């Protein structure tokens, strides 16, 4: 266990699927050789294939104390990074239209807005994903090189690029498939929770750029932090696939509102827009209790009262949403 | 899948027998002797891929063992490569090693070259073409402190008392010199060494140039098969051989 643990809460009711977080991350961290196909932060449509395809169904994580590595996803599962022939069209006078190459066949949100059917009605929502910086990281355990470690001061999980030899056991072990192999460098890479930004008192790039203001960042063990309040006090945010056993430190407020028909006075549990079974699949059975809690908070405000939990979820300003503690950093010379 | 437990037992037995060797401070038994010819030709000539100068030098067929799968859900580690043929020649203060083994699959690619400018200054970045391929490789390991009556280090990359040097060649990434003092401590030194490799008719032939090693030095060999997703400890290995 690390001394402290940074965590993130994402309110799925507010995600627009605009991918601004994805681009913020990409421009900052994965604009290098070999990183074209990788998105340390991605937003995928749910229900859907995900990125890489079927990552949630192929394995990984822990079972009865043993690692359960999955097969390695292939490049087709991630989607090859494509480029456009702008030079030919714009500068070399070629007449052909601007085309991507190689021909795109899958990608980071390939089945955008397809979703699923809830009886007679289509439904979908967006699921932004980063590394979960787990309390019991399967990737860390799987690495025979001991190249992956969890920072003692803030619980961020990172790969030592000096020690990494690109064996990819970590990718197989991660149940969220949030480690990517850079074949050009021969090393594996992952989300670093923007620790260089946090150390300077800046919040993660994905959170800072989010127009939906759906991300909350802070230390889980800091009673003043919004993540502590949402996860441990109000108990309205849950990790993804808790049964994988890694204890993620990214939590989600499940999409619960509005009901499928009518939008006032009716319980979402009576007529859910997103089938409860699907939410249970993603967040475990506890999601039912979370929805009951969220609904009672909503009722409170509809009856003229005040809900601290919903006020916090509105997240009006950066001070409400983030509590970054640069002073935590132990400088090791 | 049904044969997996048997395979694990077989691999474990072979691993255990080699573990006896693996104990630090044991001496390799007789019968593992490996003779090195003194060659009158030049080192460069011997290093050259397909060199006929190796012809007169005696071959030793060295049995290879297979490490068992690391995890229950890993692919079975079947023994597809049972021996490696080794020839050694001392020439001009160097030890030339030729490794030949049969491998029906040629697992090597030419990776795109990275331009000598910073990625942020370029519009196009070199892409990762595939993320799930592994490559054929081979290595020669010997103790850092070598000499007559040298104790054999642990076969698992040496130990703290007996660091090892590993001359590693990879079909895609080339030669790299590594050091280690125990399992999972292997590190790249950043140095390289002369090597040449050819793949013909389902067979690898790799010539490596090592510094000369005194008689009595324990030497071990390893082969990785890319198509079997070999990397790391998932590999073929020999027990310690003693250089004559």
Instruction: Nearest chain B residue to A69 by CA: give it.
Output: B73
* E strand or H helix at A114: none
Phi, psi of B162 (to 5 degrees): -130, 80
Cβ distance A129 to A109 under 8 Å?
no
* E strand or H helix at A44: strand A42-46
Cβ distance A272 to A294 under 8 Å?
no
Query: What are the contacts of A114-121 at 24+ separation with CB within 8 A?
Result: A114/A45, A114/A48, A115/A45, A115/A46, A115/A47, A115/A48, A116/A47, A116/A275, A116/A278, A118/A260, A118/A272, A118/A273, A118/A274, A118/A275, A121/A260
Cβ distance B59 to B87 under 8 Å?
yes
Query: Are B131 and A72 within 8 A, CB to CB?
Result: yes
Q: Is A84 helix (H, G, I), strand (E, B) or coil?
A: strand
pLDDT at position B29 is 60
Spatial CB neighbours of B179, under 8 Å, sequence gap ≥ 6: B144, B163, B164, B165, B166, B186, B187, B189
- DSSP for residue A104: P
Structure tokens at B153: 């280090």
pLDDT of residue A165 exceeding 90: yes
pLDDT at position B237 is 97
Instruction: Nearest chain A residue to B109 by CA: give it.
Output: A183
The vertex-A150 CA angle with A144 and A155, nearest 5°, equals 160
Cβ distance A284 to A242 under 8 Å?
yes
pLDDT at position A260 is 82
Residue in B128, B186, B187 nearest the CB of A183: B128
Block residue for tokens 């690692």: A67
Helices A276-283 and A287-302, packing angle to 10 deg: 120
Tell me whether residue A101 is exposed, middle or buried, using C-beta atoms within 10 angstroms of its C-beta: 0 to 12, 13 to 18, 19 or more: exposed
Cα distance between residue A193 and residue A182, in whole Å: 19
Structure tokens at B25: 């401070």
Cβ distance B135 to B230 under 8 Å?
no
Interval A68-72 mean pLDDT: 95
Provide, rounded to the nearest whole percent, the portion of chain A with pLDDT above 90: 83
Name the nearest CA neighbour of A30 among A101, A78, A87, A99: A78
Interface of B with A (CB under 8 A): 70-74, 111-112, 114, 119-120, 124-133, 173, 183-184, 186-187, 231-233
Which residues from chain B sit within 8 angstroms of residue A31, using beta carbons? 119-120, 125
**Which domains does chain A show, CATH number per domain?**
6-79+108-321 (3.30.70.20)
Cα distance between residue A25 and residue B218, in whole Å: 50
pLDDT at position B123 is 82
Query: Are B130 and A75 within 8 A, CB to CB?
Result: yes
Which residues from chain B sit within 8 angstroms of residue A75, using beta carbons? 128-132
**Which domains does chain B show, CATH number per domain?**
4-243 (2.60.40.1190)
Query: Are A31 and B128 within 8 A, CB to CB?
Result: no
Residue in A36, A144, A186 nearest the CB of B233: A144
Phi, psi of B195 (to 5 degrees): -150, 150
Which residues from chain B sit within 8 angstroms of residue A168, using beta carbons? 131-132, 231
Cβ distance A146 to B184 under 8 Å?
yes
Expressed in angstroms, the distance from the first to the final Cα of chain B is 43
For B177-230, the DSSP string reads: EEEESSTT--EE-S----EEEEEETTEEEEEEEEE---TT-EEEEEEE-GGGT-
Cα distance between residue B75 and residue B11, in whole Å: 14
Tally C-beta pairs within 8 A across A and B: 94
Residue in B70, B72, B129 nearest the CB of A183: B129
Tens of pLDDT, residues A256-302? 888 887 766 677 788 889 999 999 999 999 999 999 999 999 999 98
Which residues from chain B sit within 8 angstroms of residue A39, using beta carbons? none
Q: Strand pairing of A125-129 and A121-123?
A: unpaired
Structure tokens at A192: 């670093």
Instruction: Nearest chain B residue to A164 by CA: give it.
Output: B187
Structure tokens at A194: 């923007």
State the ipTM, two decimals.
0.88
Query: Are B233 and A73 within 8 A, CB to CB?
Result: no
pLDDT of residue A184 exceeding 70: yes
The DSSP bridge partners found for residue B208 are: B97, B195
Cα distance between residue A214 and residue A210, in whole Å: 7
Interval A300-317 mean pLDDT: 95
pLDDT tens over chain B, length 244 residues? 334 444 444 444 444 444 444 445 556 665 688 888 887 888 888 998 788 889 899 999 999 999 998 888 888 899 999 999 999 999 989 999 999 999 999 999 999 999 999 988 888 899 999 999 999 999 999 999 876 666 789 999 999 989 999 999 999 999 999 999 999 899 999 999 999 999 999 999 999 999 999 988 999 999 999 999 999 999 999 999 999 8
Expressed in angstroms, the distance from the first to the final Cα of chain A is 23
- For residue A191, the distance in angstroms to the closest alpha carbon of chain B comes to 18
Block residue for tokens 């967006």: A126
Cα distance between residue A270 and residue A283, in whole Å: 19
Tens of pLDDT, residues A78-136? 999 998 888 888 888 878 888 999 999 988 999 999 999 998 899 999 999 999 999 99
Tens of pLDDT, residues A34-48? 999 999 999 999 999
How many CB atoms sit inside 10 A of residue B180's CB?
21
Cα distance between residue B36 and residue B141, in whole Å: 16
Distance of CA A271 to the CA centre of its chain: 27
Mean of the per-residue pLDDT values for chain A?
Answer: 93
């Amino acid at each position: 266990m690390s001394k402290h643990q940074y965590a993130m809460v994402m309110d799925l009711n507010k995600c627009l699927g605009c991918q601004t977080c994805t681009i913020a991350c990409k421009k900052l961290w994965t604009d290098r050789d070999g990183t074209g196909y990788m998105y340390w932060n991605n937003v995928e449509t749910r229900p859907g294939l995900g990125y890489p395809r079927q990552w949630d169904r192929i394995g990984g994580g822990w079972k009865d104390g043993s690692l359960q590595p999955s097969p390695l996803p292939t490049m087709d599962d991630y989607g090859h990074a494509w480029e456009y022939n702008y030079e030919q069209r714009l500068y070399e006078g070629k007449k052909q239209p601007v085309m991507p190459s190689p021909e795109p066949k899958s990608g980071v949100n390939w089945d955008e807005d397809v979703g699923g059917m809830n009886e007679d009605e289509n439904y979908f929502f967006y699921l932004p994903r980063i590394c979960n910086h787990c309390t019991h990281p399967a990737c860390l355990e799987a690495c025979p090189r001991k190249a992956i470690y969890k920072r003692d001061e803030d619980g961020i999980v990172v790969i030592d690029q000096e020690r990494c030899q690109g064996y990819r056991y970590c990718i197989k072990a991660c149940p969220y498939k949030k480690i990517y192999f850079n074949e050009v460098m021969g090393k594996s890479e992952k989300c670093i929770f923007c620790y260089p930004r946090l150390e300077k008192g800046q919040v993660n790039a994905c959170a800072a750029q989010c127009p939906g203001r759906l991300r909350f960042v802070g230390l889980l063990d800091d009673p003043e932090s919004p993540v502590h309040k949402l996860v441990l006090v109000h108990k309205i945010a849950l990790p993804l696939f808790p049964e994988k056993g890694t204890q993620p430190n990214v939590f989600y407020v499940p999409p619960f509102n509005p009901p499928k028909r009518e939008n006032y006075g009716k319980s979402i549990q009576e007529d859910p827009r997103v089938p409860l079974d699907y939410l249970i699949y993603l967040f475990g059975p506890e999601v039912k209790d979370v929805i009951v809690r969220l609904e009672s908070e909503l009722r409170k405000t509809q009856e003229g009262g005040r809900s601290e939990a919903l006020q916090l979820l509105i997240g009006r300003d950066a001070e409400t949403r983030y509590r970054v503690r640069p002073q935590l950093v132990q400088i090791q010379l | 899948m049904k044969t997996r437990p048997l395979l694990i037992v077989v691999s474990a037995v072979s691993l255990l027998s080699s573990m006896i060797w693996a104990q630090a401070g044991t001496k390799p038994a007789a019968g593992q002797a490996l003779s090195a010819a003194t060659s009158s030709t030049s080192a460069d000539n011997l290093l050259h891929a397909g060199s006929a100068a190796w012809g007169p030098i005696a071959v030793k067929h060295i049995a290879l063992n297979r490490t068992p799968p690391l995890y229950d859900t890993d692919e079975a580690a079947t023994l597809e490569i049972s021996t490696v043929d080794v020839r050694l020649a001392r020439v001009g203060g160097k030890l030339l090693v030729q490794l030949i083994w049969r491998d029906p699959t040629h697992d090597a690619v030419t990776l795109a070259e990275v331009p000598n400018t910073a990625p942020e200054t370029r519009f196009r970045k070199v892409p990762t073409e595939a993320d799930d391929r592994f490559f054929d490789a081979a290595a020669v390991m010997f103790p850092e402190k070598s000499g007559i009556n040298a104790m054999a280090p642990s076969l698992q990359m040496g130990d703290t008392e007996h660091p090892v040097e590993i001359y590693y060649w990879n079909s895609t990434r080339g030669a790299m010199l590594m050091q280690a003092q125990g399992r999972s401590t292997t590190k790249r030194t950043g140095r390289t060494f002369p090597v040449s490799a050819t793949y013909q008719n389902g067979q690898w032939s790799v010539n490596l140039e090592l510094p000369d090693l005194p008689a009595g030095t324990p030497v071990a060999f390893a082969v990785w098969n890319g198509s079997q997703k070999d990397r790391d400890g998932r590999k073929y290995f020999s027990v310690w051989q003693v250089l004559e």
